[in-house]
Amino acid sequence: MSPVLADVLLVTALVGALALVHRPLGDHMAAVYSSKRHLRVEQWIYRAVGANPDAEMRWPAYLRGVLAFSAVSVLFLYVLQRVQDKLPLSLGFKAITPDQAFNTAVSFVSNTNWQSYAGETAMSHVTQTAGLAVQNFVSAAVGMAVAVALVRGFARSRTGDLGNFWTDLVRGVVRVLLPISVVAAVLLIAAGAVQNFGDIHTLTTLTGDKQDVSPGAVASQEAIKNLGTNGGGFFNANSAHPFENPNGFTNLLEIFLLLVIPFSLPRTFGRMVGNVRQGYAIVAAMGIIWLLAVVAVTWVEFAHPGTASQIAGGSTEGKEQRFGEGPSSLFAVSTTMTSTGSVNSFHDSFQGLSGGVLLLGMMLGEIAPGGVGSGLYGMLIMAVIAVFIAGLMVGRTPEYLGKKIGTREIKLAACYILVTPALVLIGTALAMALGTGESSMTNTGAHGFSEVLYAYTSASNNNGSAFAGFAANTEYHNTMLGLCMALGRFLPMVFVLALAGSLAGQKPVPDTAGTLRTEKPLFTGLLVGAIMIITGLTFFPALALGPLAEGLAT
């Protein structure tokens, strides 16, 4: 079978699997976040914490919960890394330096999972499982909670109540992320991923060489790393490492895991606002953008126009033999279009134009389908903007799902979409102006600039993948990228929750003949157009200096 045909089958199998679980998983999540009952284990947790799971919160209280939990998480993870050498199972690794520990703590709490360290020689068993893996769960659950709060803002009327943050957090972990992770982790082990708490183990090869084989609770972390769109690899090579991703089956499973919740949440949204067709319009917009990018990157990778790739005879640099161009492209697009950032091949060595598409995927704000939770709320903000643009065109007050998009709502949405572009562009410009960007480049020229742009785009959008030639472990970049990750995660959440509160307080406007039908394909088209135009206008100049310049030169 030709590689292209195999790749078409692979994408078809993936889309089929996602379509198959879209309804049951989406409905399950809607039920989870709407249920009045608490599971036994959840009741224990609430009792241990002293939280009342049935107390409703208005948006400031909900936000305080999010921020307090995240602040405590950053501090806890920071301390854990700083003292890991004194804890058991340290593998002899030293304590992490302050700037890198700050960067990593913010990175995992903000669901970015940018890594300026190499897991196999830096992080102890305890840091990996009790620190990093925990944030893989809870940062994902926080994202889902905020998305659900926004959905409640649309669904509820004449109330300021958005639900209870602690309840949403616990339910996301216990009823959604944990069960799927257990199944996925066991499947990964069955297919060859490792799962042990052993020591680094030195053996003698047939040639008489010594080789050190890494241990680790890899499969358990791999499952949630992708399911929670986190992306922080156990090892430096991330999902390219054969212990994390040993074959084509695990590769497909991992891509499925990182897409499944983001692509199912629109169903949850549709259920909760009482019209599943509204969810279909959203998921269609996500799917169109994702598929276009998959086709574009796969095409360029198979064509391999880069000079070195032409001489080699394929775009195989930075790719594993078992995956090859097609599955690597599929993984790369899926990881940058969600907020995952795990990689099974190194984006730095992709063809110039493919690298541009991957960058663009993150610049869109990771909404196609985006991170768990953050993808849905990002897309709903874009829907608000699209409705607003449509309203301007016909000269009528825009409405979405029976809620007026007034001055306050559009201000909040506008603030939301300004945050990450500001962080990306100012961050990149500062790094270039101060010379710290240039000194961290591995590549030269336009591609070198792309490395810096990619780093700040990845951090600000909470992706975490990298043009990994970029030497990120400097005091400057650890600090600045850490700030980008924190602001890029939590400032938008402030605007989302404020918007949710404002929407929930409104009384619904009845549908009339003049209401824009947001469940129709026309609206999906408008939404995709609005996303492309807004991102295009914002980032085109920066893209022209990096990947476009590189891609057009070859």
Backbone CA torsion sign across 56, 61, 65, 70 = positive
Residue nearer to other proteins on the CB measure, 223 or 283: 223
The token pair that represents 403 in the structure block: 């809620």
- Side chain identity at residue 293, one-letter code: A
Residue nearer to other proteins on the CB measure, 467 or 495: 467
Answer for which of 35, 43, 397, 442 binds other proteins (CB under 8 A) is 442
DSSP letter at 235 equals: S
Backbone CA torsion sign across 286, 343, 173, 502 = negative
Half-sphere exposure of 192 (CA within 13 A, CB side): 13
Q: Does 71 bind other proteins (CB under 8 A)?
A: yes
Q: Tell me the window of 25-33, 168-176, 497-505, 531-539 that interacts with other proteins (CB under 8 A).
A: 168-176
The token pair that represents 293 in the structure block: 């990018």
Answer for which of 313, 395, 510, 514 binds other proteins (CB under 8 A) is 313
Residue 149 Cβ, how far from other proteins at the closest point, in Å?
Answer: 17
Answer for which of 53, 98, 192, 406 binds other proteins (CB under 8 A) is 192
Q: Does 112 bind other proteins (CB under 8 A)?
A: no
Q: Does 16 bind other proteins (CB under 8 A)?
A: no
Residue 403 Cβ, how far from other proteins at the closest point, in Å?
Answer: 29
Letters for 394-433 (x = contact with other proteins by CB under 8 A, - = none) are: ----------------------------------------
Report yes or no: 270 and 263 within 8 Å, Cβ to Cβ: no
Q: Does 240 bind other proteins (CB under 8 A)?
A: yes
Residue 521 Cβ, how far from other proteins at the closest point, in Å?
Answer: 31
Q: Tell me the window of 125-133, 266-274, 289-297, 482-490 that interacts with other proteins (CB under 8 A).
A: 125-133
Location of structure tokens 């608000």: 384
Give the chain's end-to-end CA distance (angstroms, integer): 30
Residue nearer to other proteins on the CB measure, 194 or 527: 194
CB neighbours of residue 199 within 10 Å: 13
Residue nearer to other proteins on the CB measure, 182 or 509: 182
H helix or E strand, kind and range, residue 404 = strand 403-404
The token pair that represents 247 in the structure block: 């074959």
Query: Residues in contact with other proteins, total (CB under 8 A)?
Result: 127
Residue 232 Cβ, how far from other proteins at the closest point, in Å?
Answer: 14
- The C-alpha atoms of residue 239 and residue 232 are separated, in whole angstroms, by 9
Q: Considering only residues 504 through 533, tell me which ones interact with other proteins, judged by CB under 8 A.
A: none
Residue nearer to other proteins on the CB measure, 129 or 436: 129
Backbone angles phi, psi at 99, to 5 degrees: -70, -35
Q: Tell me the window of 218-226, 281-289, 477-485, 527-535 that interacts with other proteins (CB under 8 A).
A: 218-226
CB neighbours of residue 549 within 10 Å: 17
Helices of type H across 435-520: 436-439, 445-460, 475-505
Q: Does 204 bind other proteins (CB under 8 A)?
A: yes
DSSP states of 446-466: HHHHHHHHHHHHHHHTT----
Q: Considering only residues 322 through 351, tell me which ones interact with other proteins, judged by CB under 8 A.
A: 322-324, 328, 343-346, 348-351
